[in-house]
Chains A and B, each alone.
Chain A
Amino acid sequence: MTPRRGAALGVVALALAVSGYLVVGRGGTDGGPAPVVVSASACARGWSAPRSGLTVFTVKNTSRATIYEVDLVGANQALVYGDIEMLAPGTEDQMDALLPPGDYSFQCESFSGATLTSRVEHVSGPPVSGAHPYVPVTSDQIQLATLAYRGSLTTWMGRLAVATDALKAAVDAGDLARARQLWLPAHLDYSRLGAAYDTFGNFNDEINGRPLGLVGGVDNPNFQGFLRLEYGLWHAQPDRELVPVANALDSAVHGLIKQFPQMLMPANDLSLRTHEILENTLQFELTGETDEGSHTNLATAWANVQGTQLALAAIAPLLQQGEPGLLASLRQGLDKMAAAFKGFQHANGSWTPLQSLSRSQREHLDGELGGLLEQLSVVPDLLELPIQPATADQS
């Protein structure tokens, strides 16, 4: 239950610095081109260029310091053709690189963030198709995107507060029929926030926790929040039992909203969320695992797609710069997915239960979502900032 990826050290510097690490390269194994040798005084000193095509460099850190990033960059020093993240002292790793003819150099980033650059070497040989270099993003770009995302979340949180207040009021009043109507809109507002994989820490357990892993399951007092309330509302539990549940939920929602401005969002979180919200959906909603009685998994899935669209909108400028095709494809895929889920809402606002779908309907939803996830999974790698392990996973 910790964040999957740690905080990033927000620099992908293109500057050339001069201090101590190196990678030396002579790469190559199994018939690859020249091996890359490593020493402690320069970045890839003396590396020799392979022929064009696929090369596996062996990159070896012979220094006593960890190198956090080794990139093989193209002539403009902006496009990255191969990378290794985190190379411990005295260790080696392999770097795959598909290189068209052209000029290349290595860049090595040290613990302090200083970047060294190797000599430029020329790769010659026949043209190569299929090379897919990427443009690294900068920490400033990520920060801007994160600010935009947080702004959009704040707007949705306002809606969530109103919806949860209304739900609590209905439970307080003993009007459980009304509470059953108000539960879904509030839950969907929360589901749009994209709280996948513990984004909101303990608040998520309080707001949307599952009985999973709790001794006694749904009867465990630590089972609380929307799903606990759902269980009670759809299992004929009396209002006296549900009043404290609804009140605790409402307090947790307001607690989150109050705390949110102070909650740090690690730099890589936004791109991770763009991918992971829907991993959650496939695992927990499209299996029906989280259904505590309302049979609204398809509605939640729809809201999760919207949450992903929020995240994608924030990083769209970054993708637009290097991967406009991917961005267009993701937008289209998410629109289609949202429409597919929304298609299971009836005119009166109610939703078709997941359990009533035909095999074919489920196969389409599962398969299309899986296909979309394969595309989305590229995003975190593409937008990843080098991680400084010392600050990773503070929990």
Chain B
Amino acid sequence: MSRRRLLQLGALTGTVAATSGALGSLSRAAAASTGSGTDGPSFLDGASKVTAERAQLQSFEGPHQLAVLSEPTRATTVVAFDVIAGSRAELRDLLRTITSRMRYLYAGGTPQFDGPAAPTDDNGILGPVLPARNASFILGMGASLFDDRFGLKPAQPARLYTMQSFPNDNLDPAQTQGDLSVQIGAEDADTVLHALRDITKHTRGAMQPRWRVDGFKSPPRPSGTPRNLLGFKDGIANPDTSDAAQMRQLVWVQPGSPEPAWTTGGTYQVVRIIRMLVEFWDRVSLYEQENMIGRRRATGAPLDANSEFAAPDYATDPAGNIIPLTAHIRLANPRTPATADSRILRRGYNFDLGVDVNGNLNQGLIFTCYQQDIQRQFVTVQTRLIGEPLVDYISPVGGGYFFCPPGLEGRSDYFGSGLV
């Protein structure tokens, strides 16, 4: 107990960064990823095989946390933490530790060896050597982090606030908000859990998990955009992440008032844990389902077209004769010039969490989206959706609003370095 505590404090204080646990493993991982590590050759052979199929996993080195733009991974977890660190300095250490663990987990390599008299640093779930670029990370900060505990109020991102309940929400405080959010993505669930356990192990005493929901992305069935657990292809229409201008316009925080300077390059994350009432949904006619969504279930095509990627033509159907005015896709994205700047970058994951008290299956969607301005974008979209017919089949139960700080500039940088 006391020994473990000591090791953690070593990692957290960061005063002896080069030799303390977290950063020590970081430097070794970095060495491995550049091919100069002791186990370089065999490890890299293995890694190069997976690199091709996992190439979509992006790092956070540079102006942005680029994982935000990545296509969803097959497995994910979204975890909110409350910070229990007692001072601003301890918060800084926490952010450094999180950063260094994420760097290590992303880079892969050989876990740190703490000597024969300590439990191993790594949990072993992925075997003795970690594959490189196997997991991606997105870190966010909730509005509560900017309360009086750490004196951060003046630096609070201008558009960050606590998620309020929308009509039809059923928010459970135990699954809502949090000081920090961590999303881990990987192609395999064990990789996600390995990373989660690594992060919680190295941050115990400084932050505590508040809620967590695991998700998965389905494979294309049979092709195209993956389906959600309502059986519909989900996330067909999204801004083009390869269009840098569009990303500047919709996703990344730009320099200038009212945003504090340190937030430039960051983005706002909305997480909504949306329970789907799948039993009820499955008892509704296909025709009715398709009218609620606005797409064919089999193909994903909008009701006025034959292809999933065809743009619905609302202009020629102003009365909603073909795609009802209340259809989800029509309310969410009316595709007009006036609504263009309320678009969001949405990333959905399915979740499946056992059974409800009445024996119904607890399934749904981890809705996440990224934007430059929560009010202008997500809240505007969600407000348009108030009262949509689909609300009888879904129940948002948790989530929160978070600010994802910019990416890392240089080896010694850490998330929130511009803040604390």
Contacts and interface: CB of A to CB of B under 8 A. Distances in A.
B133 interface: no
A72 B173 CA distance: 52
A213 B165 contact: yes
B321 A66 contact: yes
B242 to A, nearest CB: 30
Contacts, number: 113
Interface string A61-100: 0000010000000000000000001101111111000000
Contacts of B386: 1
A213 B168 contact: yes
A390 B298 contact: no
A218 interface: no
Contacts of B304: 88-91
B338 to A, nearest CB: 21
Interface string B285-305: 101100100001010010111
Contact of B277 (A3, A4, A275, A283): A283
B126 to A, nearest CB: 39
B245 interface: no
A373 interface: yes
A366 B283 contact: no
A288 B357 CA distance: 9
Interface string A361-388: 0110011001001101100110010011
Contacts of A374: 283
Given A1-B391, A93-B296, A377-B284, A213 B291 contact: no
A286 interface: yes
A377 B277 CA distance: 15
A18 interface: no
Contact of B168 (A111, A212, A275): A212
Nearest to A392: B324
B358 A287 contact: yes
Given A93-B296, A363-B359, A4 B288 contact: yes
A88 B303 contact: yes
A213 B166 contact: yes
Most buried by B among A3, A213, A279, A366: A213
Interface size grouping (class) on chain B: 35 or more
A75 to B, nearest CB: 25
Contacts of B319: 389-390
B285 A212 contact: no
> For the complex, would chain B's binding face be called helix, strand, loop or mixed by DSSP majority?
loop
A384 B301 contact: no
Contacts of B296: 93
Given A367-B359, A389-B324, A390-B321, A91 B283 contact: no
Nearest to A68: B321
Most buried by A among B277, B284, B305, B360: B284
Contacts of A93: 296
A366 B306 contact: no
A320 interface: no
Of A86, A288, A387, the most chain B CB neighbours within 10 A belong to A86
Contacts of B322: 66, 86, 88-89, 389
Contacts of A286: 358
Contacts of B283: 275, 279, 373-374, 376-377
Contacts of B413: none
A367 B355 CA distance: 13
A121 B291 CA distance: 32
Nearest to B393: A4
A197 interface: yes
B325 A212 contact: no
B317 to A, nearest CB: 8
Given A283-B280, A392-B291, A370 B359 contact: yes
B356 interface: yes
Given A1-B391, A287-B356, A392-B320, A86 B168 contact: no
A335 interface: no
A53 B325 CA distance: 38
Contacts of A6: 324
A23 to B, nearest CB: 15
Interface string B163-179: 01111111000000000
A120 to B, nearest CB: 26
B358 A282 contact: yes
16 contacts: A1-B167, A2-B387, A4-B288, A90-B306, A91-B303, A91-B305, A92-B306, A94-B298, A197-B392, A282-B358, A362-B358, A377-B284, A380-B285, A380-B288, A389-B291, A392-B326
Interface of B: 164-170, 277, 279-280, 283-285, 287-288, 291, 296, 298, 301, 303-306, 319-322, 324-326, 356-360, 386-389, 391-392
Given A89-B304, A197-B392, A373-B283, 18 more contacts: A1-B167, A1-B391, A2-B326, A4-B288, A4-B389, A86-B303, A213-B168, A215-B165, A279-B280, A283-B277, A287-B357, A362-B357, A380-B284, A389-B324, A390-B319, A392-B291, A393-B389, A395-B326
